[in-house]
Structure 1
Amino acid sequence: MDWKEISGNWVLIPQHPVGIVHFLGGAFVAAAPHVTYRWLLEQLGNQGYAVIATPFVNTLDHSAIAGNVLLSFDSAIEQLRAKALLRRRYLPVYGLGHSMGCKLHLLIGSLFSVERAGNILISFNNYTASEAIPFVQQFNFSPAFNVEFTPSPVETNKLIADKYSIPRNLLIKFSNDTLDQSTGLTEVLQKRFSGMVAMQMLPGSHITPLGQDVNWQAGKDFTPFDAVGQWVKQEILYKELNLLKREILRWLQPFSPS
């Protein structure tokens, strides 16, 4: 499988897709998701999921970004069907977001009429502009001039509580992530969709989903040094990523044998 650019999205299509994953990344790494999240997204592709990763550039208007990425995603679906790259009439669509990407999926599910089989929200955060972009404080010259995201964190929480329409959700929180706000979001979603929302704690940090492949080249003769290198790759570099991948796939395929 190779990445293709379709209607402004980066797309990975397996031969016989079993579902579609719409991926949205974090604020400062979302411009090239097929590069910054390559390992994780390609693992999903290897398991039969068509991946549509929509790039975006962060602005203060998060509602507008949500609308734009949804239009881009829908355009990609139309193009894929027109080119017969998606042949099955129906495939379940799952939202997958990391950091700010979670907020965008939540806004999409709150502001627009969409059909989703569920959303996976990794390392959700919903900070104010001054918390998310520290230097923005220098522009707040007076109380009348306040730089803030649209919707604000408070408005976002209210939108989710009142209008979010995707019942099945998996929230993933990492044990060493000081930016994560998944606990509060879980409470809001569980009140709205009792029994349909799960939160999973995994080892790792806010940047764990960005982990990349390390191409360890063994020598002509496999030496103890090569063995150590392979162990480092599998047990240290990939342990957290593999746990994340397995948790995502377990939730996507709840009835598959483990």
Structure 2
Amino acid sequence: MTRWRRLGKVWGLWPAQPIALVEMVGGSYLAASPQLSYRRLLEGLADHNLAVHAWGYVPGFDHQAQANEAWKHLRRCRQQLEARVGALPTPLRLGHSLGCKLHLLAPDGGRNSRALVALSFNNFTADRSIPMLRELAPKLGFYTEFSPSPNETLRLIRESYHQPQNLLVSFGDDSLDQSPSLLHSLQQRVEDATQSLHLPGDHLTPASAGLRQNLLGDWADDSARAETLKQLVETISCWASP
């Protein structure tokens, strides 16, 4: 069985002879321990003989700086993996929620990726994402926003993101998903080939099965959610495989 390994700020799953690599950036505070919160999803990919690198982080206000950091750490881990197993195909980038935004802001504009699979893209303002901020900011007389802001993020995607191959995955009961605005921005680029996929579930479908399994065991799993996750693993594997 493939075991998790710690590679600085990245958690890795390395099959003995991986056929490709998936680079994962998770959403919000779920990404602090991606080897736990996305366990079922990522171990499912490893079962398809895909190496997995998942960057662990706590979100801040400077999303561009975090995008740069994620890209740097994932690139370094890819070099470590290839030094061990040999050259691999160009990696697939996988994001969930805020993680999609960080991949889209990568300093290489997506050029060094096979494609991006974006699960439940989220691009809310700071006061929408952090309810306490919405309450305190007026009382304290200050205003703060993520950098880049939601509107600036979409502009940068239109002008500086160059990967044509993208799959935007939305879930049926997800009030946090903003994939339509992302799709609109991507399709304004020349030669865009972005596709969309709609699955049953909610914003936590990619993560919650792993959380429940880790905390409560297999008996706590939901069969419908597990089936959606299985379909998600199959889809991502197809996009990642050469």
TM-score, normalised to structure 2, is 0.89
Within 5 Å, which residues of 2 pair with 1:18-97? Answer: 18-82=19-83, 84=84, 86-87=85-86, 89-97=87-95
3-state SS in 1 of match to 2:187: helix
Shift of 1:51: 0.2
- C-alpha contact (below 8 Å) 2:114/2:240 kept by paired residues: no
Q: How far apart, CA to CA, are the structure 2 residues paired with 1:195 and 1:146?
A: 36
1:151 corresponds to 2:148:
yes
Within 5 Å, which residues of 2 pair with 1:1-258? Answer: 1-82=2-83, 84=84, 86-87=85-86, 89-108=87-106, 111-112=107-108, 114-141=111-138, 145-194=142-191, 196-210=193-207, 211-212=209-210, 213=213, 215-216=217-218, 235-253=223-241
- Per the alignment, residue 221 of structure 1 pairs with none
- When Rg is computed on C-alpha atoms for both structures, the one with the higher figure is 1
Q: How far apart, CA to CA, are the structure 2 residues paired with 1:144 and 1:112?
A: 37
Shift of 1:139: 3.7
3-state SS in 2 of match to 1:251: helix
- C-alpha root-mean-square deviation of aligned residues, in Å? 2.2
| Structure 1 unmatched ranges of 5 or more | 217-228
**Residues 24-77 of structure 1 deviation map (CA, whole Å, 9 limit, x = unaligned):** 101111111011000000010110111000111110000010111111112212
- C-alpha contact (below 8 Å) 2:63/2:146 kept by paired residues: yes
3-state SS in 1 of match to 2:228: helix
Q: How far apart, CA to CA, are the structure 1 residues paired with 2:154 and 2:182?
A: 8
**How many corresponding residue pairs?**
235
- C-alpha contact (below 8 Å) 1:139/1:147 kept by paired residues: no
**CA 1:146–1:215: 2 relative to 1, 3 Å:** closer
Q: How far apart, CA to CA, are the structure 2 residues paired with 1:239 and 1:79?
A: 34
Letter in structure 1 aligned against 2:204: I
Shift of 1:240: 2.0
Taking every aligned residue pair, what percent have the same amino acid on both sides?
35
**CA 1:237–1:183: 2 relative to 1, 3 Å:** closer
**Residues 139-180 of structure 1 deviation map (CA, whole Å, 9 limit, x = unaligned):** 424897311000000100000011101110000000000000
3-state SS in 1 of match to 2:105: helix
Shift of 1:189: 1.1
Q: Flag the structure with higher helix content.
A: 2
Letter in structure 1 aligned against 2:89: L
3-state SS in 2 of match to 1:116: coil
TM-score, normalised to structure 1, is 0.84
Shift of 1:16: 1.3
| Structure 2 unmatched ranges of 5 or more | none
Q: How far apart, CA to CA, are the structure 1 residues paired with 2:82 and 2:239?
A: 26
**CA 1:107–1:5: 2 relative to 1, 3 Å:** same
Tell me which of the two structures has the higher relative contact order, counting C-alpha pairs closer than 8 angstroms and 6 or more residues apart.
2
**CA 1:239–1:81: 2 relative to 1, 3 Å:** closer
